[in-house]
Amino acid sequence: WLTCRKQYHYAFVDGLTPNEVSIPLERGTLGHEAFSRYCQCVIDGGTHEQAIREGHTAFNESLAAGILPMDTVMETKTIWDRYMAYHNGFPQWELLGTEQRVDLVISEELIIPMRYDLLVRDKASNKVLVVDFKFTYNFWSPNDHDRNVQLAKYIVILNSVGIKCDGYILEEVRTRK
- What pLDDT score does 67 carry? 86
Which has more confidence, 13 or 138?
138
Query: What is the rounded distance in angstroms from the CA atom of residue 104 to the CA atom of residue 116?
Result: 13
In this predicted structure, what is the pLDDT of residue 18? 63
- pLDDT score of 25: 86
Q: What is the pLDDT of residue 70?
A: 94
Neighbours of 138 (CB within 10 A): 10
Lowest mean pLDDT among 10-14, 75-79, 101-105, 132-136: 10-14
Please say whether the beta carbons of 123 and 154 come within 8 A: no
Among 80, 119, 84, 83, smallest CA distance to 98 is for 119
Read off the pLDDT band of 157 (50, 70, 90).
very high
Q: What is the pLDDT of residues 48-103, one digit of tens each?
A: 999 999 999 999 999 999 988 999 999 999 999 999 999 998 999 999 999 999 99
